[in-house]
A and B are shown apart, each in its own frame.
Chain A
Amino acid sequence: MKIIVAIKPVPNPDEKVKIRPDGSGVILDNVKMVINPFCEIAVEEGLRIKEKQGGEVVILTVGPKEGEQQIRTALAMGADRAILVETEKGLDSLAVAKFMSKAVEQEKPDLVLMGKQAVDDDNNQVGQILAAILSWPQATFASKVEFVADGKKAHVTREVDGGLETIEVPLPAIVTTDLRLNEPRYASLPGIMKAKKKELKVIPGASLGVDAAPKVRLLSLTAPKERAGGRKVADVAELVAKLKNEAKVL
C-alpha cells in the first residue's frame, strides 16, 4: 500500500506561546519546532500499516524550507522518502489543501494519513478540504483503522461526541488521526543516520499553478484574559465554607 502522510511543523506544544508585542504573531525565536503531535500519530500509523502489508510511506509537507528538520525526523522514524512543496509561511487551509492535492495527484497513493488538527492554528480543516478537492471519501478523528475487502476498503473507528462510531470507506481515502490511534515510536540512532540519505524532493509551490491568495487572513493575536486564580485553602472545611459563602455554589 502506498501511503502519504502529511506532517506540519509546530512550536513545541508543551510550552506556552508568547505573543509579539505588536500582536502580529507569536515569538518563535528559541522555540523548539516539532512534528505536530497528531501528525506524529499519522506517521506511526503509516509505518505500522507498511510493516504489516508492505508498501511505501511518503512524507508530505507544504511550507518553507525550515520544515526539512521535522521531515528528517519523520524519515528517521522509518518513512521512505519525502516531498516538500516549498511555499511561504502562513498559508490558509484552502491553499495548503490545494498544494497537497497536486502532490497527491502526482503520487496516486492508496491512503493519505493526516492529523486531525494542527496544534498551532487549531483549525481542524485541511484533511477534510483535501478530501473534497480530490472527491475522495474521508474518515476523521480515527482511533482505529482496519482494512477489509482485500485492502480495497477501510473500517475506521472515529472518536465522536457521545462515543465511538465506525464507518467504512473505499480506498483511496483521507484518514485523520485522533490521540488514541497509537503511541508514536521514537527515531532510533540508526534511523537518524539512514534518514540523512533518504530522498527529499522539493517542489517549488509556484510551479503548481495554485491560487494561494488567502481567504482567511490573520489580522492580529491577543492574549486571552488571565484568570485571577492561585488562591489556596487550608482544608476541606475552609473549601466548603468558601464555596458556600463566597462563590455561592453550594
Chain B
Amino acid sequence: MADTLVVVEHQEGAFKKTTLSTITAAKTYSGLAGGEVDALVLGSGIAAVADTVAAYGVRKVLLGEGAVFAKYLAVTYAPVVAQVVKEKGYGAVFAPASTFGKDFMPRLSGLLDAPLASDIMGLAKEGDKLLVRRPMYAGNAIATVELAGSPLLFTVRQTAFDAATTSGAKAPVEAVSVSADPAGSAFVSRQETKSERPELTEARVIVSAGRGIKAQENFKLVEELADLFHAAIGASRAAVDAGWAPNDWQVGQTGKIVAPELYFALGISGAIQHLAGMKDSKVIVAINKDEEAPIFQVADYGLVADLFKAVPELISEIKKLKTA
C-alpha cells in the first residue's frame, strides 16, 4: 500500500496553517486508498516547523534542509519533492492550493508526468474508483474527475477541509538528504503586506469593500467595522486595481477563497468572479445602494443603502450592543 506525502507550507520558517486542511485531505485520501501520511518540510533553519507539524497526526516528518532552500523557488522545490517521492515510493502528494502549492505542484506534475487535480473540494470512492471533486467555471460547476497514473497529485482548497488537530503524540522527525540547482533563478525581494489582523483564509469574520468605497482613505470605515469583530479585511478586484487595497486582500476566483462565519460585502456588486471566492460563507451581509446588485441574490441580509450612511450607523449600533 503506497503512502501519501504532504508538502508543508511555511514562510521562511513560519509555519502556515494552510498545511492543516491539507493534512486532513491527505488523511481522507489514505482512509480511502490505504497507506500512511507523512509530511515533508523543505527549507533552511526549519526544525521548529518540523516539530510543529509532528503534532498533527502524521506518521513521520521528513526534514530536508539546505541553504539553497532558504528562499522558496519552484525550480528547486519541485525536483526535490520528485526525488523524495521516487525514492520512498509515495503514491500521492498533497499541498495547499495557495500561491505556494499552485506554483510548484504543476511543475512536479510535469517532472513526474503525473496527474494533478487542482483546488480539490472532496474525495470519495465508488467501487475501485477514486472520485475527486473540484470547482470549474468560477465555482459555477463542480467537476468530478478521475486520475490515472502514479503518483496522484492534489492541491487542496483550504475552506473545503477542516484543519487537522493535534493528536497529543509527536511523530518522529527524519532528516532526508536533499540538494538542488536553481540554474540561475534567484529570489530578489519580498514586499510583505503587514497586518495585525487575522489572515483572510483563517478569519471568523471578514469585512470586504469594493469600488463603492470610492477612495483608499475610506477604508478607515472598513477598519472600524472590522475592529469590532477582530475581522480580516478583504476587497474586490476593482478596489485592488484602483490601488486602495493590497493585492493579497482580493477575494474571488483568482484571489483568496474564503468561507468565514460572517462576510460583509460593502459596495461590491457581486460579479461571478467575486462570488466564486465568498459564496460559501456562512452568513453574508451586503450593503449596496443599487437594489438590483447581484450580491443581494446570495446575501442572507441585504441592505439597500448608501454605505457611507449605513456603515457608521451599523458601527454605533454594534458598539451599543457590546456595552449594553
Taking the complex as formed, is B298 at the interface, i.e. its CB lies under 8 A from any CB of chain A? yes
Tell me if B's interface is mostly helix, strand, loop or mixed.
mixed
**B256 surroundings in chain A (CB, below 8 A):** 161
Q: Give the distance to chain B from A170, nearest Cβ to Cβ, in Å.
A: 4
Alpha-carbon gap, A126 to B296, bound state (A): 36
8 Å CB contact of A14 from B116, B118, B271: B271
B residues 154-200 with Cβ under 8 Å of A?
A: 183-193
Taking the complex as formed, is B30 at the interface, i.e. its CB lies under 8 A from any CB of chain A? no
Alpha-carbon gap, A124 to B116, bound state (A): 10
Given known pairs A164-B191, A217-B145, the reply for A232 and B302 (CB within 8 Å) is yes
Name the CB-closest residue of B to A130.
B110
Name the CB-closest residue of A to B126.
A219
Alpha-carbon gap, A95 to B312, bound state (A): 54
Q: Are A235 and B186 in contact (CB under 8 A)?
A: no
Name the CB-closest residue of B to A135.
B183
A residues 166-209 with Cβ under 8 Å of B?
A: 166-170, 178-180
- Per-residue CB contact flags for chain B residues 196-237 toward chain A (1 = under 8 Å, else 0) read 000000000100000000000000000000000000000001
Interface size on B, residues (CB 8 A): 88
Taking the complex as formed, is B148 at the interface, i.e. its CB lies under 8 A from any CB of chain A? yes
Q: Which of A53-61, A70-78, A115-123 contacts B (4 or more CB under 8 A)?
A: A115-123
Q: Are B106 and A129 in contact (CB under 8 A)?
A: yes
Interface centre among A120, A127, A128, A221 (most CB of B within 10 A): A128
Taking the complex as formed, is B128 at the interface, i.e. its CB lies under 8 A from any CB of chain A? no
Taking the complex as formed, is B283 at the interface, i.e. its CB lies under 8 A from any CB of chain A? yes
Q: Are B301 and A231 in contact (CB under 8 A)?
A: yes
Q: Are B102 and A140 in contact (CB under 8 A)?
A: yes
Q: Which of B47-55, B59-67, B135-143 contacts A (4 or more CB under 8 A)?
A: B135-143
Alpha-carbon gap, A18 to B175, bound state (A): 50
Q: Are B253 and A94 in contact (CB under 8 A)?
A: no
Q: Are B248 and A162 in contact (CB under 8 A)?
A: yes
Q: Are A119 and B253 in contact (CB under 8 A)?
A: yes
Q: Are A232 and B296 in contact (CB under 8 A)?
A: yes
Given known pairs A129-B107, A132-B110, the reply for A13 and B303 (CB within 8 Å) is no
8 Å CB contact of B107 from A128, A158, A221: A128
Q: Are B185 and A179 in contact (CB under 8 A)?
A: no
Q: Give the distance to chain B from A99, nearest Cβ to Cβ, in Å.
A: 13
Alpha-carbon gap, A211 to B119, bound state (A): 25
Taking the complex as formed, is A21 at the interface, i.e. its CB lies under 8 A from any CB of chain B? no
- Per-residue CB contact flags for chain A residues 135-159 toward chain B (1 = under 8 Å, else 0) read 0011011010000000001010011
Q: Are B144 and A219 in contact (CB under 8 A)?
A: yes
Q: Give the distance to chain B from A85, nearest Cβ to Cβ, in Å.
A: 17
**A1 surroundings in chain B (CB, below 8 A):** none
Q: Apart from A163-B246, A178-B254, A219-B143, what are 9 other A-B pairs with CB-CB below 8 Å?
A: A117-B254, A125-B109, A129-B110, A165-B191, A219-B145, A223-B142, A231-B300, A236-B314, A239-B301
Interface on A for B, CB 8 Å cutoff? 11, 13-14, 16-17, 19, 26, 38, 92-94, 97, 116-117, 119-133, 137-138, 140-141, 143, 153, 155, 158-170, 178-180, 214-224, 227, 229-233, 235-237, 239-240, 242-244, 247, 249-250
